Amino acid sequence: MYFEKVRCFGNLIVSGIEIEKRRISGTVHIDSEDGSSFKLIFTYGEDIEADLNTAGLILTMPLINFSYFTASITLNFPVSEQDRETIEHFINVNNREIFVNAICRRRYEFFLEDYIPDEEEITPENAMGDTKLLTPLRKNDSSVLLPSQKKCAIMSSGGKESLLTLGMMDELGAQVFPFFFNESGRHWYAAIPAYRKSSVTYPGTRKVWSNVDRFYTFMIRNMRIINRAVLKKTADSYPIQLFIFPVYIFSFLPLLMKYKIGNVILGDEFDDPMNMGKFHGMTHYYGIYDQTNEFNSYLTSYFNYKGLRIKVWSAVYPISGMIVEKILMERYPKLFELQRSCHSCRIENGQVLPCGKCTKCLGIMLFILSNRGDPSKIGYLKDDYLSITDSPEFPRLRLDPDEVKMSMWGARLKGGEEIEHVAGIHMLPGEIRPLSLIPDSYRDRIMGILKRYTLSTFRIRNRKWVRED
């Protein structure tokens, strides 16, 4: 089988869990000849409480990124039946996403040519992999948390979606907790302006520091199938990691429980289902499962089974990135100035500046121009945003085709086209009313804000987006 050819790890073992007042740590052992291991660390800015189950789950999430290349994962901490079912579900989804999107539909040649599957190897069986989950220590779920639905944890990164979500929820009177995840690498730079401002504006602002990005580097260094030359080049995507947001969410569990927070709000913007077809007959999530409503619903159910009663959702899921940018610029200009949507930011004279060259930057500048905004307000140079379509990276934009055309039309760029639904509120397949995936207590008020900046609601009829009254 193909998955056996790319298997790099025999057994990944989580053990040696330590719970301190402000830190959770544990060792990930690689069952190999050299017996490599890595100590994963999550550090908090205040005292926390966590049991072995919660700490172990936090330490497990990063490993799922590498499940496709692993024969088995052993968890040496108490695991409930619901934990096991959820982790197995995550492994199965991640394996398929890795095979389809990281290996087959790859955007960069991160894998050595000898390990790219032949056409006949692109099968559902190979996509599933054969990862075993071993959980020798079992427990029953006994948590009881009755959180406040007025309290909202905003998963914050410095990007447009989390900033808009923060602005809206604060305006609606929610008690907001901007939660920032601080990896030890440059990825943190983009969050610095928003974190600094939030820290003095919103008392609920919290940060968790982790060395998880170093763990990813450690694991990739142990994979013989990776093309080291391509790895050294700057890219706007990771070679392996497609399972990112669960790492962030689970790391905040001690704080969610400490403050009895009832909502975890992610910045999942609209992804057009019309463009999300099957690959060789296989349904998949285009590498963004943890940014979908399916993931949010699954995690909400999981927390409910564990007695935590925490809802996971998005306030911006039915609107495009172009509209997210429009509302942020026009309604919350002070928050807009904090936006840094770039994974290659640099610091000059104490200011965090975007690179202006990567596909994320190109998309953001395009959105701003399409809404008659000024990209220089968030650190872009004229040379960057006056020549967007000339960039060799422009064809790699990770945006829906309709969104690109509509944004180009709004920015008066050659090749643009007016496509109305991009400027609307989308009803996803299965929805009987707009914003049905937002909790009742916030739905109508969020709708009131979105309606001011959109054309109408749209639903799919006969494979087309149709405008509703």
Of the candidates 399, 325, 333, 334, the residue with the CA atom closest to the CA atom of residue 368: 325
pTM reported for the whole predicted model: 0.95
Local confidence pLDDT in tens for the 469 residues of the chain: 999 999 999 999 999 999 999 999 999 999 865 669 999 999 999 999 999 999 999 999 999 999 999 999 999 999 999 999 999 999 999 999 999 999 999 988 999 999 999 999 999 999 999 999 999 999 998 888 999 999 999 999 999 999 999 999 999 999 999 999 998 767 899 999 999 999 999 999 999 999 999 999 999 999 999 998 887 775 667 889 999 999 999 999 999 999 999 999 999 999 999 988 899 999 999 999 999 999 999 999 999 999 999 999 999 999 999 999 999 999 999 999 999 999 889 999 989 999 999 999 999 999 999 999 999 999 999 988 888 999 998 998 989 999 999 999 999 999 999 999 999 999 999 999 999 999 999 999 999 999 999 999 999 999 999 999 7
What per-residue confidence (pLDDT) applies to 34? 62
> In what helix (H) or strand (E) does residue 199 lie, and over which residues does it extend?
helix 192-201
Is residue 172 a contact partner of residue 445, using CB atoms and an 8 Å limit? yes
Q: Give φ, ψ of 387 to 5 degrees.
A: -140, 40
Sheet of 311-314, strands arranged across: 132-134, 70-75, 9-19, 23-30, 37-44, 206-210, 175-183, 148-156, 261-266, 311-314
What per-residue confidence (pLDDT) applies to 238? 82
Per-residue CA distances from 391 to 237, 353, 385, 401, 467 (Å): 18, 19, 10, 17, 34
What per-residue confidence (pLDDT) applies to 33? 56
CA pair distance 6, 9, nearest whole angstrom = 9
> Domain for residue 423, yes or no?
no
CA pair distance 380, 242, nearest whole angstrom = 28
| Structural domain of 218 | 2-148+200-314
> Domain for residue 309, yes or no?
yes
> How many other C-beta atoms can be found within 10 angstroms of the C-beta atom of residue 136?
10
The two three-digit tokens of residue 203, written as one number: 């008392």
> Domain for residue 455, yes or no?
no
Contacts of 180 (CB under 8 A, 6+ apart): 156, 157, 191, 194, 195, 198, 205, 206, 207, 208
**Domains held by the chain: number:** 1
The two three-digit tokens of residue 182, written as one number: 């601080």
> Domain for residue 458, yes or no?
no
> Domain for residue 450, yes or no?
no
> Domain for residue 405, yes or no?
no
What per-residue confidence (pLDDT) applies to 236? 66
> Domain for residue 382, yes or no?
no
> Domain for residue 368, yes or no?
no
What per-residue confidence (pLDDT) applies to 234? 58
